[in-house]
Structure 1
């Protein structure tokens, strides 16, 4: 590497369009690393290539040890919006911005949440099985449901929650929103009803869709007590982060008929152990944490990640995409 070049680590999942924004610069050298690399191997790779000035992360954890190994880190970015695997405090101590992709994957996650609601309400797995197994005559005993006129409770009204609301309003659903960090006026302006008491709102909902970050405040938010407040005919959707739902309590509620069904794109342990008890239930739809990883979203996220990196190297960080705003001047 020539002395004036900046070395940037990029995960294998970064799309060609994102890479192109970086490779067209003659002052940048790219080093690719596996998305599922172990912590020890990643640290060794950083030391081998040090100094490393930027990194585009997929699922890889990043903290003090990685910063030390990199030698001269200027920017850490995620090809996504979640950052629970990144030690933000460690980055802030070294004045290194942590950046995410803003709205790049929010339409995709919102679509996936609606897809899971439709899968469950229309009993897609059961309908498919009836035809495949030649049980056509049993179809009237497994009638599907409409979304029309049903009540959805959205927990978290950020980039994804707001888009989920718009899609569900278009399905002529009634949309409640619980988000203590959003004003009633903002929620009403979006055509939704603001609720300040989550426990009081749960019995009203036919569907509950989670769109909040994973924080100490939200871990275990949907425990056995909260699940008991939901109607036996209601459905729970989680495209946010694993750990917000107590999975053992969810299994008990679903298997005992105290909850109609669930759609899960995220899990407490990823990947979950096989066999995974929840996926064996007929009223559960699961996906391998791909809600925000469509072809289009990967391109949008990768391109935004590249722009995030370049903005820091060029001295003008895209401020709205910086998580630890304390590092900005």
Structure 2
């Protein structure tokens, strides 16, 4: 009997609809808590499909899954899957390109507001019995009239832009792949290069995929070009940002605050100095975690995997690796 392996079952279990889809297709389910590579290789030895959340499907691990025919990435990013290695072995890779657009956009604005208005610091102080005065809270920011720099302007960034404009923010965008018509419809200005984006932003929000070109793209030099007191929000990938540089910029006060949902190493080290910084608002890579979004992403990824296993073309094949 054909079987598929669900990784990270402890965090992302299937619902009744998913089990019904498997039963209708006549496909068995193998479930695995977590995503340890050796555990995946053992549990997936008989699997024709695998559903991936946080697991890293390297060429080496893919080679240890002899019956594999499809890898379904439960998310819009697929940098944790070696697509080229999979396709070289005749294995299809599918993903959910528009997963969690509204959810991540909402979370991005929530982080921006939380940082600008010092919400977590105020909450912690009150719970500790302290009623902080203005000078104790630190500088708070009005969003109206400020410039939100958007690095990348895909689905999520465009949704962020709609929300930011509702708060009266101006949009400055750097994304060479986006046409002037899209920017005009969004009410956004174009920054011709990254430097222009950094120079002109009161807050910077990152919305680019993790590729060799974007890894470490925002470091000390880039942060220094932001306006003094600028805010940083990252809901894309942690490796795009030099975390030590962010910590240093926050400590110096040049960076007024940072809202981070993603980190260079996850889970975040409990000893990270970011945890002690009042100007940092941190969430556990949870921007897309709504009940509705998670039900949709697992259902669509599973449906596409079953489509491939039935000999039909996938709805959302992952694009070839990006430079």
Same fold (TM over 0.5): yes
Does structure 2 conserve the Cα–Cα contact (< 8 Å) formed by 1:17 and 1:302?
no
Q: Kindly indicate whether residue 196 of structure 2 is the aligned counterpart of residue 209 of structure 1.
A: no
Q: Kindly indicate whether residue 162 of structure 2 is the aligned counterpart of residue 166 of structure 1.
A: yes
Q: Kindly indicate whether residue 300 of structure 2 is the aligned counterpart of residue 304 of structure 1.
A: yes
Q: Kindly indicate whether residue 163 of structure 2 is the aligned counterpart of residue 178 of structure 1.
A: no
Does structure 2 conserve the Cα–Cα contact (< 8 Å) formed by 1:77 and 1:305?
yes
In structure 2, the CA distance between the partners of 1:137 and 1:300, relative to structure 1 (3 Å rule), is closer
Tell me how many residue pairs correspond in the alignment.
317
* C-alpha distance in structure 1 between counterparts of 2:90 and 2:215, whole Å: 28
Gaps of 5+ in 1: none
Q: State TM-score, norm by structure 1.
A: 0.90
Q: Give the deviation of 1:28 after TM superposition.
A: 0.9
Residue among 52, 59, 69 paired with 2:54: 59
Gaps of 5+ in 2: none
Residue among 252, 258, 262 paired with 1:262: 258
* C-alpha distance in structure 2 between counterparts of 1:307 and 1:300, whole Å: 10
* Alignment partner, residue 191 of structure 1: 187
In structure 2, the CA distance between the partners of 1:46 and 1:107, relative to structure 1 (3 Å rule), is same
Q: Give the deviation of 1:44 after TM superposition.
A: 1.8
Q: Give the deviation of 1:95 after TM superposition.
A: 2.8
Off by >6 Å, runs of 4+ in structure 1? none
Q: Kindly indicate whether residue 157 of structure 2 is the aligned counterpart of residue 157 of structure 1.
A: no
* Alignment partner, residue 105 of structure 1: 100
* Alignment partner, residue 80 of structure 2: 85
- SS of aligned partner of 1:272: coil
* Alignment partner, residue 291 of structure 1: 287
Q: Give the deviation of 1:18 after TM superposition.
A: 5.2
Q: Kindly indicate whether residue 36 of structure 2 is the aligned counterpart of residue 41 of structure 1.
A: no
* C-alpha distance in structure 1 between counterparts of 2:135 and 2:126, whole Å: 13
Q: Give the deviation of 1:213 after TM superposition.
A: 0.5
Residue among 234, 249, 252 paired with 1:253: 249
Q: Say which is worse superposed, 294-303 or 220-229, in terms of deviation.
A: 294-303
* C-alpha distance in structure 1 between counterparts of 2:157 and 2:31, whole Å: 33
Does structure 2 conserve the Cα–Cα contact (< 8 Å) formed by 1:18 and 1:306?
no
Q: Give the deviation of 1:121 after TM superposition.
A: 0.9
Q: What do residues 271-323 of structure 1 show as CA deviations (whole Å, max 9, x unaligned)?
A: 1222111121110000111111222211111111122112222333344x211
Q: Give the deviation of 1:132 after TM superposition.
A: 3.1
Say what the alpha-carbon RMSD is for the aligned residues. 2.0
* C-alpha distance in structure 2 between counterparts of 1:110 and 1:147, whole Å: 16
- SS of aligned partner of 1:306: helix
* Alignment partner, residue 235 of structure 1: 231
Q: Say which is worse superposed, 60-69 or 282-291, in terms of deviation.
A: 60-69
In structure 2, the CA distance between the partners of 1:18 and 1:214, relative to structure 1 (3 Å rule), is farther
Residue among 281, 285, 310 paired with 1:314: 310
Does structure 1 conserve the Cα–Cα contact (< 8 Å) formed by 2:122 and 2:132?
no
Q: State TM-score, norm by structure 2.
A: 0.92
Does structure 1 conserve the Cα–Cα contact (< 8 Å) formed by 2:207 and 2:236?
yes
Q: What do residues 31-52 of structure 1 show as CA deviations (whole Å, max 9, x unaligned)?
A: 1112x232112112222xx2x2
